[in-house]
Amino acid sequence: MKKYGVLFLFVFLLIAGLSLSAEEAPRIGVLRFTNQTSAGWWSASVGDELSDMLTSELVSMESFDVLERKEINAVLSEQDLGESGRIDPETKAQLRKIKGARYLIAGTVSSYEENTSGGEGGISFKGIGLGGKKEKAYIAVDVKVIDTTTGQIVDAKTIEANASSSAVGVGLSKGSFSGNLSKYNKTPAGKAIRACIIYIAEYLDCSLVKGKNDPCMDQWRQIEGKRKAKTKKSIKLD
């Protein structure tokens, strides 16, 4: 009888542990991204594309229960919560209507820079440049985690990414590209965007799943410290 009792206890704990793990998977939704920069690759549809990219990345991690964007849009009607940072009482009431979602993730492209160096020796014909130029791209996204039960922003982080390319390529010296992000897949801009999306997913996994006390947060604290130090250094006070 004692053996059966131990076996029963083991099975019970196993089932309870599995149930607890399933319950602990945060149910989240990703809002349409917003933009505060003059990036040439931004268009009306890019906010949705970035949202879908982050959603796919989060799903692939198997750490979250992720809502489809249409479920969120049906309730919030595409309000730009991430950009405004303000959640009024009416919006709070709407947040509670999103069934089962604990958190909403809002992303705002807050900074984007690109430059080209090493252009000497190239040739230009009718605005199209050919040469061995080294192109660089930098992007920063302000990420906010909104608790749907309280309407409060419970976490916020600026995620940065860089990318460069020194391969010989073709570039436009007049105007900028237009269209959706697929046109930028192999460019420094596209690579920086993709890297930033991956970093955002990794941070959310660390913060919301593993927890603030997990060792993974040490790395993010170091990154944040370096980012702030770099920002302070770049600011010149009169």
Residue 130 located in a structural domain: yes
Query: Which regions of 6-152 does DSSP assign to beta strands (E)?
Result: 27-30, 34-35, 65-66, 103-117, 123-125, 128-131, 134-147
Quote the number of domains for the chain: 1
Q: What is the pLDDT of residue 41?
A: 92
Residue carrying structure tokens 């009024």: 88
Residue 185 located in a structural domain: yes
Residue 148 located in a structural domain: no
Tally the residues of the chain.
238
CA distance linking residue 153 with residue 83, whole number of Å: 13
Residue carrying structure tokens 């409060």: 152
Residue 176 located in a structural domain: yes
pTM: 0.73
Contact (CB, 8 A) for 33 and 47: yes
Q: Output DSSP code: residue 43.
A: -
Burial of 81 from C-beta contacts in 10 A (0-12 / 13-18 / 19+): buried
**Residue-number span of the structural domain to which 168 is assigned:** 34-65+103-141+155-230
Residue 9 located in a structural domain: no
CA distance linking residue 220 with residue 175, whole number of Å: 37
The whole-angstrom distance between residue 38's C-alpha and the CA centroid of its chain comes to 19
Residues lower than pLDDT 50 in the chain: 6, 9-13, 16-22, 78, 82, 119-130, 167-179, 238
CA distance linking residue 66 with residue 167, whole number of Å: 38
